[in-house]
Amino acid sequence: MTVVMVSACAVAAADPPVIPDGKSETTVYVIRHAEKTSDTERDPDLSDRGRARAESLAVQLRDSGVNMIITSDLKRTIQTAEPLARARNIKPKVVPIETSVETHISQIVNEVLRHPGATILIVGHNNTVGRIVEKLGGGRIGDLCTDEFSNLIILSLTKGKPAGLLLESYGMPDPPSSTSCPHLRDR
């Protein structure tokens, strides 16, 4: 009898978080995937530093109420989301980059808008994060630099009001830019 009760509790604890329907505020965390093993491969895995960053994201957002995760179909975004998805028992929504980057971005934005009241993590790429933020009403921030990984952009979306934007960070800080591209915090 005790074993059955423990099993029942384990199953109940494993239920995925509920996505509220119609709550007035939607919170969206937008990040770029963590560091990858290669700049030359099309779909590389995360590096050791990237895996550590993904784990730090899970710790930082563990109690944030995230109830939906959206990634692209590339390994680095899926692997960045995986520790938080596991901790929150969420199966990420994978939005493939099939035809064009603009179509991919529109599909992500439409997915966010279909879930008012949700708390959503979006894991994107240096050339999609800024466009997603802009299309959700957070203003123009442009593309991220190729050596920029620590930004945690938080959008508050309330119907009928301008989007609120807060720039935080997660994981180890990015080293100073080694290119002529200024990091988001320096713009």
The enclosing domain of 30 has a CATH number of 3.40.50.1240
pLDDT-derived band at 6, boundaries 50, 70, 90:
very low
pLDDT over 80 at 105, yes or no: yes
pLDDT at site 21: 66
Average of per-residue pLDDT across 90-98? 95
pLDDT at site 5: 43
8 inside domain: no
Helix (H, G, I), strand (E, B) or coil at 156: strand
12 inside domain: no
pLDDT at site 176: 87
Which DSSP string do the residues of 93-148 spell out, in sequence order? EE----S-HHHHHHHHHHHHHTSTT-EEEEEE-TTTHHHHHHHTTS----PPPTT-
Q: What is the count of structural domains for the chain?
A: 1
Domain that holds residue 91: 23-186
Quote the pTM value: 0.90
Q: What is the pLDDT of residues 111-127, one digit of tens each?
A: 999 999 999 999 999 99
Strands 25-32 and 151-158 come out as: antiparallel
16 inside domain: no
pLDDT over 80 at 77, yes or no: yes
- Provide the token pair at 15: 């239920």
**Closest to 132 measured CA to CA, from 99, 109, 112, 98:** 109
Q: What is the pLDDT of residues 9-44, one digit of tens each?
A: 443 445 777 777 667 899 999 999 999 999 899 999
pLDDT at site 4: 43
96 inside domain: yes
Bridge partner residues of 69 (DSSP): 121
Average of per-residue pLDDT across 86-107? 95
pLDDT at site 14: 55
Q: What is the pLDDT of residues 143-168, one digit of tens each?
A: 999 999 999 999 999 988 999 999 99
177 versus 25: the higher-pLDDT residue is 25
2 inside domain: no
